[in-house]
Amino acid sequence: MVKKLYKLGLVVSLGMFLFVLFSDIHNLDRTSKNYLSEHYISEGVQETGAINLVTSVLYDYRAFDTLGEATVLLTAATILAFLVPVTKADMLGTTFTIIVYQATKYLIPFIAVLGVYVIMFGHLSPGGGFVGGVVMALIPILLSLTYGIDFSEYKLTPNTKKVVEDIGAIGFILLGLLAVLTGNNFLANGQAGFPLGNAGELISAGLIPYLNVMIGIKVGAGLAIIFNSLMKEQ
């Protein structure tokens, strides 16, 4: 009982500190504007060619972060691939009616199209590599859910997914290195002379769409690996 009260006390005092911090920040008199975001908002479209500013931040201004997070995802996929046994897979034993199987079959092309759309239009509309990747990952996940993991992995073996994931990551780095080839810094886009095109068109914003594609491939494959690994049972 004392222990529980002590724990409660700890958390409450942490909450107090947090609250003090938040209210201090809130009460702070902030006259100076946030020049970085101002710059991104006012110049971002010209500088990167992408209408979606989040994409321009993710794949251009701070593309290096994206490389890092892609690596984290890949690491997680790698861990799950070796941590959870690859031997035998079994799905709860549920069988569905034929409606589910047929619907899944017909749904998959639509999902694929949606995924490709979200990835390709990442610099123009809400979405991008991550979101599109997640959508793409739905395909193997749906397969696993309805037909069982065996079928899903027969269609797309874990090795294939792993290779696709690696190719996505390597592709990202290689695209970044394109700028180095032209004598600029890593991951440079507009500065390295890649045509930014007209903002708002599909082929615009230099490297951003291609980076989006790479991340999309990577995230899709990675999530599929993670999901399947977590579902597997001995």
Partner 1 sequence: MELPFVVVTILFCLGIYTIITQKNLIKIVLGFTIVESSLILIFVLVSYQPGGTAPILDKAYHLVVDPIPQALALTSIVIGGSVTAVMLALVIKIQKRYRTLNVDKLRKLKG
Partner 2 sequence: MQAAIWLIILPLLTAFFIGISKVFYSYKLLFPLVTGSAILYLYLLISVIDHSYPPKVYSVGDWGLLGINIMVDPFSGLLLLMIALLFLPVIVFSLKYITFHTHNYFILTYIMTAGIAGMVLTADLFNLYVFLEVSSLSSCALVALKKTNKAIEGTFKYLVMSTLGSFFILLATILTYDLTGTLNMAEISVAFQDIPFQIKSILMAFFIFGYAIKIGLIPLHAWLPDSYEESPIPYNVLSSGLVMKSAVYALIRVLYILFGFDFLDETGMLQIGVVWGVVTFLIAHLLAFQQSNVIRLLAYSSIAQIAYITIGLFVGTERGLIGGNFHILNHAIMKGTLFFVIAIFHYSLTAVDIKDLKGLGFRFPLLSFTFVVASLAIVGLPPFNGFISKWLIVEAALDAGFIYAAFSILVGTFLSLTYYLKVIVTLYTKTDKTIEMKEPGLALKLPTIFLGSLCIVFGIAPSLPLSLIDKIPTFLLDHEEYISILLGG
Partner 3 sequence: MITPGLFYLIGALLLLLPIREKMTYILAILMTTAALMMTFYLVPGDRVQLEFLNYTLTPVKVDRISKLTGLIFTFGGLGSVIYCFRICSRANLRLIFIFIGSALTVAFSGDLFTLYVFWELMTISSSFLIIMASDGTKKTGYYYFLIQVAGGLSALWGVFLQYAATGDLALKTIEAGIPFFMIAVAIKLAFVGFHTWLPLAYGKAPFYVAVVLSIYTTKVGVYVMSRLLPGIDILAYAGLFSALFGIGMALLQTQVRRFLSYSIIIQVGYMIIGISMGTVAGITGAMFHLVNHILYKTVLFMAVGVVVYTTGKDDFENLGIMGRKLPVTSIATLVAFLGIAGVPFFNGYMSKAIIKDAVNEPLLTWGLNLMSFGTCLLFLKFIYYAFLKKSTISLDKQPALSMQVGMGLLTVMMLVIGIHPVWLESVTNMDVAIHYFDKKHLVSGIQPFLWSIAIFILIKKYVVKNYEAPLPYDLYRQIAKQVVTTGYQLSNYHDGKLTKYLLWTTSTLIILLALLLF
* Interacting residues with partner 3 (CB under 8 A): 6-7, 10-11, 13-14, 17
Burial 123-147 (b: 16+ CB within 10 A, else e): bbeebbbbbbbbbbbbbbbbbbbbb
Nearest to 47 by CA among 224, 214, 218, 190: 190
Interface residues with partner 2 (CB under 8 A) are: 17, 20-21, 24-25, 28, 32-37, 39-40, 60-65, 67-69, 71-72, 74-76, 78-79, 81-83, 159, 162-163, 165-167, 169-170, 173, 176-177, 179-180, 184-189, 191-192
Among partner 3, partner 1, partner 2, none, the one that 19 touches (CB under a kind-dependent 5 to 8 A) is: partner 1
Question: Residue 179 and residue 175: Cα distance in Å, rounded?
Answer: 7
Nearest CB to partner 2, comparing residues 139 and 211? 211
Which pair of tokens denotes residue 12?
A: 């409450």
Among partner 1, partner 3, partner 2, none, the one that 45 touches (CB under a kind-dependent 5 to 8 A) is: partner 1
Phi, psi of 85 (to 5 degrees): -60, 140
Nearest to 73 by CA among 122, 133, 12: 133
Among partner 2, partner 1, partner 3, none, the one that 125 touches (CB under a kind-dependent 5 to 8 A) is: partner 1
Nearest CB to partner 3, comparing residues 6 and 64? 6
- Residue keyed to tokens 């994206």: 66
Nearest CB to partner 1, comparing residues 36 and 202? 36
Among partner 1, partner 3, partner 2, none, the one that 86 touches (CB under a kind-dependent 5 to 8 A) is: none
Among partner 1, partner 3, partner 2, none, the one that 28 touches (CB under a kind-dependent 5 to 8 A) is: partner 2
Contact assessment for residue 176 and residue 75, using Cβ atoms and an 8 Å cutoff: no
Nearest CB to partner 3, comparing residues 4 and 33? 4
Handedness of CA 100, 106, 109, 115 (dihedral sign): negative
